[in-house]
Structure 1
Amino acid sequence: MRAELPAVAAQTVASIVVEVPSYTDAFAGEMGRAISRAVQLALGGFLELATTTGGADPSRPIGPALEGAYALGRGEARSGRPMDALLAAYRVGARVAWRHMSDTAVAAGMTAGSLARFAELVFAYIDQLSASSVAGHTDELDSTGRVRRHHLERLGALLLTGRPPHDLVPAAERAGWSPPRTLTAVLLPEGQARGALARLDDRTLQVSDDPPGLDPAADLIVLLVPDAGCGARATLLRTLEGSAAVVGPAREWTAVSASYARALRALRLGLTADGTAALDTESRLTDLVLRADDSALADLRAAALAPLEGLSPAVREKLTVTLRSWLLHHGRREQVAAALFVHPQTVRYRLGQLRELYGDRLEDPQTVLELTLALGAQLPAPTEQDAS
């Protein structure tokens, strides 16, 4: 059998090429010669096993052959092939090798009982080789996956810190990540991330390792969602429905740090969405602009509303809400009354009070601008009970 190893190996390789099409090209040139040597190593390892154990211990590992099978499995993973082809090649190899070896064994006078034990040893050995290759394939995929996840996380961190394109493009290439046209930053509780990722674009980046500017105690992560601008934004918001997400604007992928800064600003300001919807920062631009400098806004509001200072808190609140609604509805009394759940005569009475307090200043464009800015940030919505 040892003398026939080169011939058996050659016939094994020829059969695999015919019966496993995935390997037709793999056996060409130097790679083919290397694989042929590997086949001889595996067959030689089997004969070593058969010689040293006499067929009594088919589970005994043969180091070099099993290491070769492990390396072959890793090579398959690096080539992007699943294990199906390699396992099929093992089955073909076992059949061809057994046919030739059994012929030699019978010709040498091996008894039927010994031949049966020999057959058991052949297939137990093939199982060992297969298991070793599967382990190599799995380990390679795990290792590759970990490395890629590291590169993707690193890319996300660079994007959030606003690094220039000459840093971002190579990082994307290292991660094997195809850049989209835009990215949208989403802040999301870590416990809700898995469900969201399952419904989002596969290219979505996740940054969970201390995103810059986020309080670690907040238990939030950042998702960078590809091409979720314009019409696709509504789809993104529906996908995030029911979550406590804060959604920034869509920006060019290299400028997504601006989207993240917007979402982070909304979070720090304590802006909240209605019901179970995600917070869409695009719908709260007025609040974000007016509250960019809370101290300046407070000073502006105090100056603009100074004429109301001498009133009782209840009256001051009603007149403030009425003044804001009057500004928003351009003085249309019926619309103001509907918005405040009061009678138009009530609106007329309150506006009379406001004109007494402000005088001609309510006709002054600069005063109207200051009042609009001072009252522009969302106030609690009036209710019928409030109106009474």
Structure 2
Amino acid sequence: MPRFSRARRQDVAEDAARDVDTSRVAMSHVVAARQEGAEGGAALRVEGVTVRFGSRRPALDTVDLSVRAHEVVCVLGPSGSGKSTLLRAVAGLQPLDAGRVWLGGEDQRDVPVHRRGVGLMFQDHQLFPQRDVAGNVAFGLRMRRVPASVREERVAELLSLVGLADAGRRGVASLSGGEQQRVALARALAPRPGLLMLDEPFGQLDRTLRERLVQELRELFTGLGTTVLAVTHDQGEAFALADRVVIMRDGAIAQSGAPLDVWRRPADAFVARFLGFANVVPGRVAGRRVDTPWGRLPLAGGAAAVAPGEHTVLVRPGGVRLVAEPGGLPCEVVARTFHGTHVSVRLRPHDAPEIEATCALHEAPERGDHVHVGFDAQDVVVLD
């Protein structure tokens, strides 16, 4: 799957995190439903779930996770982190070695996949080529013996929602990748599942189409009040889609929280680097300062709560600024990447780790230039 550049991922995640609670199609009854769902407890509860494959380390290691009714949760992490195994365990496609899965307050032990009331949508669509679009969307309703008149009404409603109102009689082979993805979504939503689960739903689509579909799905889920558990390894998608992101590492949850909170304050160096931040170094905190390989850096007011001593320190690229020579850290520009709205530069100090900085177009130095940089306190974050 093509990945965003680091700077592009940061742009997408930063913008999405700020706007994650807005929607053009939000309605008052949906807000009320969300409040009711929050009061009513979790739509999904995973307790101590462990999955092992042979003698290797657990693919899932005593994972605990709750998803509230009408909440959109995205699980992300690198390959092998356990995110897809978690989805399969919730769906009943993967047996558990330990732990419990609860859906709608009911223990799912020994409940087969087709009786769990979940909708599944995979990156390869898995549409039925012998059926037209309407036949694919209606499949789950037919299996539940829903009357034909009700099926037709539901199919028409969903095809309209996903922007394919006139495509019911088309063969699925004639559809574009984005259109097939919309049909797969409509099919998953048709039986009104208590939980919709998406496994790398945009993996086969190009970047521009992925970004557009992510925003459309966000609005659709908000309008319908759908409870969603999605899996992706792309943080841009997760931050644009989710109310809450869950980052996994080695079969365990490394961090969980609102997108903006996770972006502003990663839990540790692993999360920071996974989010695309390169400026992560050891440091020693003393009061409102932290000593790092780049010198003594200032800390914002909240640093009073940080215990003095050894820590890991993140400096966001936007907080590395070019300054006049006195007092700045001397660096050489070793790389320069144009991103349309800004330029990322990689700086090499003498006898210290390289630094990534983000510059405005008119301020960006050229490769080989010698510059001096300073650090903004609000972008110096003490991790762990």
TM-score, normalised relative to structure 1: 0.23
- TM-score when normalising by structure 2: 0.23
Larger Cα Rg: Structure 1 or Structure 2? Answer: 1
